Amino acid sequence: MAETSALARTRCLVTGGAGFIGSNLTRFLLEAGSSVTVLDNFVTGRPEHLPRVDNLTVIHGNIVTFAGIGELCAESDFVFHLAAQVGNVKSLEETETDAATNILGSVRLLKSCRGTRLRKLVYSSSSAIFGEAERLPIDESHPQRPASFYALSKLAAERYALLAREHWNVPAVCLRYFNVFGLPMENNEYTGVISIFFNRLKAGQPLTIYGDGEQLRDFVYVRDVARANVLAALRAEPGSVFNIGTGVASSVRGLALTMRDLTGQDVGIHYGPSRSSEVRRSVADIGRARAGLGFEPGYDLRQGLAEMWEALAVDSALPR
């Protein structure tokens, strides 16, 4: 991407930069010549997700309590805010931590950016804020009815970011991610369906689909999400909001068949009971991101899956 030259010799802060999306973004920024500081509490992020290079500083700290957040923001050209407690189910179990991290942590970061030389703050939001779709594809003006505390916390932080632009002149932009997939895979009970399926395929185990498998998702590759963050930092008007996905609907059943075919793992596909809280349909309208950012997905679902499987095969001597 030609615009990455504009990042050379800039200073970037990435909160949650050792996590799944954050580590991909951090690597992108480093390769573009930025000096990057990562702030991560390493609850889900891992130090091994990050390279050891001179232009990277890694700080073990919590966005809610880290005392030096003001100094980090004051010396940054761009702030990418990805630090969050993630998970709809987890937010029902750890609601106070969810609110403290996702809302209060975001407010604290926004306040720390007030009055600085910051060129852009890019906030990572989620398509979970929409709840069940009334229409497809989902554009940015679609009604927002969060159905979990996690989704509510992401929407609340969005609103704080946009009001911080209005009242504090913080140049904030919000990106609403749809179903992001890629490496490094997260291994926990809240991991995405693609990570779960790959782990089972690696082990030669059958895939389990909950419900009829006709649930629709918009799977967007993590490398494209990293690019979207950079485009937002360089091109977006402060105060704007963008959906980040592919605009392509994929069923969960179709995903399972594609992954089974791609990997050559002849495992069964089993069906379990539907999950009552699961969103049935979620597909992005990315017209605004195309027009306002010049964003165009570089990977379709199969290409992204193939790149993942190739990397997993190298690591574990799986068939290719």
DSSP 101: I
**Six-digit token string for 110:** 């926004």
Catalytic residues: 150
Q: Map 25-39 to HEC letters.
A: HHHHHHHCCCEEEEE
Residue 4 to residue 2: CA distance in whole angstroms: 5
Q: How many alpha carbons fall within 13 Å on the CB side of residue 246?
A: 23
Cα angle: 208, vertex 211, 216; to 5 degrees: 95
Could you tell me which of 82, 135, 141, 77 has the C-alpha nearest to residue 109? Answer: 82
Provide the angle, in degrees to the nearest 10, between the axes of the packed helices 301-316 and 252-263: 40
Q: Which residues pair with 81 in a beta bridge?
A: 15, 123
Is cis: bond before 206, omega within 30 of 0? no
195-230: string of b/e by CB count within 10 Å (b at 16+)? bebbebbbeeeebebeeebebbbbbbbbbbbbbbbb
Three-class DSSP category at 2: helix
3-class DSSP state for residue 160?
A: helix
